[in-house]
Amino acid sequence: MDVQSGVMIVGEQRRGEVHPVTFELLARGRQLADKLGAELSCVVMGSVSVSASVSASASASGLGLGLGGSAREIIERGADVVYLVDDPALGWFLPRLYARALERLIRSEMPEIVIAAATTSGRTLMPIVAARLGTGLTADCTELDIDIEERLLLQTRPAIGGNVMATIKTPQARPQMATVRPKSARPLPRDAGRVGRVIEVRLDEADCGAAECAAASCGARCEHGLEAVLGSVRDTTQEVNVQDAEVIVTGGKGLKNKDNFRMIEELASLLGAAVGATRDVVDLGWISYPHQIGLSGKTVAPRVYIAVGVSGSVQHLAGMQTAETIIAVNKDKDAQILKVADFGIVGDLFEVVPEMIEKIKNRPATGR
C-alpha cells in the first residue's frame, strides 16, 4: 500500500512573479514538515508566455519574468522540492484547468498535507481539488500545527462569527487540506545555503479537458469549450486593501461616534497610512467592511499598527498581532491592547490624537 508523506504548499504567481503569500505559506509549511520529519514541496502553476505578453514593463525592467527564475528563492525560503507547471494554457486562472493539474500532481506525489492561501484564487481552487480527491478542506485557518502522535494536521479557524476558535482534524481522508489567511505568518529569511530540487511538470490532455471533449461529443457545450479568456479587466471594486499597507491607523468603539472617527481618517491621511477598524465600528456603520481587521475581517502585518480606542479583544488581536510595531492609545491602563503594544499611551484619545495631528501638521517640511 502506498504511503502518503510530505507537506505540499500551493504557491501563487501574478504575471510571472511569485506572489509574497507563497513565502508566508513556506514558513507555515516548513514548520509542519519539520515536525513530521518530512519534505516540503511547493507547486507553482502559470505561464511565462502569457505573463510576458501582459507585463512587458516588468520584463523591460529586468524583474525576472518566468516561474523558473523564482525557484531559487522558493528553495531559499524553505522548500525542498519545487514543482513548476508552466504552460500557455495556464496563463489565465481557469479554476477547472488548474484543479485538474493540481489534482494529478497530488495523486502522483501523494503528500499527506496540502495547504494554500485563503486568497480569491485559493478559495476558488482548493474546494474543487478537495472534492475531486474525496477529502476534506478547512478554510480560512489562522493557525496550523501537528499532532505528532497521530500525524494529524490541527487546523484552527474562527467560527460562529469569530466568537470562538475551532480546531479541526481530518483523521481518515487524505491528503489533509487547508487554506490559510494571508498575513497570518511571517516569511522565513532567505538562506542561500539551502539546496533543493526543481521539477518541471507538463500538462496532458486529461488536465486540459480535451479527452472529456472527445468522449462527450458535446462540442462547445462542454466545460472545456465554455472556458475561454476574452480579455482582462482590473478589479477596482475594492475601495481599500489594508492587507498591503505598511502603516495602519485603526479606530475602535472608544471613539464614541462616527463624527469622532474622522480623527482616525485625518491621522491616517497625514501619515500616508491605511484606515482600519474593529468589528464594533463596522457594525455601527462608521466605516465599511473592507476596513475591518480581526478574525471576521482582514489579517494584517504592517510595519506600524496604531490602535486608537481599541480594547484589544481576542478576535481583533488575532488579525493584527504579527505587526512589526504596535502603538496603542487607550485611557484604560489594563486594556488588553496595551499588553501587546510595543509603545502604549495611557490617556484620553480626545486629547492625545488631536495633539498628534497638530504636531504632524506643524513639523518642518524637511524634518522627521
Asked whether residue 53 carries a pLDDT value surpassing 80, the answer given is no
pLDDT tens digits along 87-133: 888 888 888 899 999 999 999 999 999 999 998 899 999 999 999 99
Q: What is the per-residue pLDDT for 67?
A: 55
Least confident of 4-8, 34-38, 239-243, 351-355: 239-243
Domains and CATH numbers, the chain: 7-226 (3.40.50.620), 242-362 (3.40.50.1220)
Using CA atoms, how far apart are residues 147 and 145, in angstroms rounded to an integer? 7
Q: What is the per-residue pLDDT for 260?
A: 95
The C-alpha cell of 223 is what? Answer: 466545460
pLDDT tens digits along 258-286: 999 999 999 999 999 999 999 999 999 99
Asked whether residue 366 carries a pLDDT value surpassing 60, the answer given is no
| Confidence grade of residue 15 (pLDDT, cut at 50, 70, 90) | confident
pLDDT tens digits along 107-116: 999 999 999 9
Asked whether residue 41 carries a pLDDT value surpassing 60, the answer given is yes
Q: What is the per-residue pLDDT for 265?
A: 94
pLDDT tens digits along 157-180: 887 766 678 899 999 899 999 999
What percentage of the chain reaches a pLDDT higher than 90? 60
Asked whether residue 215 carries a pLDDT value surpassing 90, the answer given is no
In contact, 293 and 277? CB cutoff 8 Å: yes
3-class state of residue 58 by DSSP: helix
| Size (the chain), residues | 368
pLDDT tens digits along 17-38: 888 899 999 999 999 999 999 9
**Phi, psi of 76, deg, nearest 5:** -65, -25
| Confidence grade of residue 14 (pLDDT, cut at 50, 70, 90) | confident
Higher pLDDT, 79 or 90: 79
Q: At 244, which amino acid appears? A: D
For 102, 107, 152, 153, 173, the CA distances from 111, given in Å and listed in that order, are 12, 8, 13, 12, 12
In contact, 257 and 350? CB cutoff 8 Å: no
For 37, 95, 205, 213, 220, the CA distances from 224, given in Å and listed in that order, are 40, 11, 11, 7, 8
Instruction: Report how far Cα 365 is from the mean position of its chain's Cα atoms.
Output: 37
In contact, 163 and 315? CB cutoff 8 Å: yes
Higher pLDDT, 66 or 181: 181
Per the prediction, the chain carries an average pLDDT of 84
What percentage of the chain reaches a pLDDT higher than 70? 82
> CA-based diameter of the chain, in Å?
73
Q: What is the per-residue pLDDT for 217?
A: 38
The C-alpha cell of 267 is what? Answer: 491621522
| Confidence grade of residue 365 (pLDDT, cut at 50, 70, 90) | low
Helix (H) or strand (E) holding 348, with range, is: none
Q: What is the per-residue pLDDT for 77?
A: 94
Strand partners, 43: 10, 83
Using CA atoms, how far apart are residues 349 and 336, in angstroms rounded to an integer? 16
In contact, 216 and 223? CB cutoff 8 Å: no
3-class state of residue 123 by DSSP: helix
